[in-house]
Amino acid sequence: MVKIRLSRHGSNKKPFYRIIATDSRSARNGKFIEKIGFFNPLLKNKETSLNINLEKVKYWVKVGAQISERVKQLIKKINKIK
């Protein structure tokens, strides 16, 4: 099953997340199918801290991917910004 979820990168106490489409059995930072966007919680500017390609999200949901709870919240947040 394909999931759309976060993958953590960055150093200690400076997280940076990629939003990825991946097989649900793969590790959190393991191999992924496609990069969909990114999220940097440390940036103050809301517009530059979050970037999601909504067309890719729609495609993956259409083919049966499930979205994690945190990514659902981020998608709602980006819809409010636009």
Residue 81 is classified by DSSP as H
As a whole number, mean pLDDT of residues 59-76 equals 95
Task: Look at the chain and report how many structural domains it folds into.
Answer: 1
pLDDT tens string 51-62: 999 999 999 999
User: What residue numbers bound the domain in which 35 lies?
Assistant: 2-81
pLDDT > 70? residue 22: yes
Q: How many other C-beta atoms are found inside a 10 Å radius of the C-beta of residue 75?
A: 17
Which pLDDT value is given to residue 53?
94
| CA–CA gap between residue 72 and residue 10 (Å, rounded) | 22
Global pTM value: 0.88
pLDDT (0 to 100) of residue 57: 95
User: Over pLDDT 90: what percentage of the chain?
Assistant: 76
Per the prediction, the chain carries an average pLDDT of 92
Q: What's the CATH number where 76 sits?
A: 3.30.1320.10
Q: What's the pLDDT score for residue 79?
A: 83
Q: pLDDT-derived band of residue 48, with 50, 70 and 90 as boundaries?
A: confident
Strand arrangement, sheet containing 66-67: 50-52, 34-39, 14-23, 2-11, 66-67
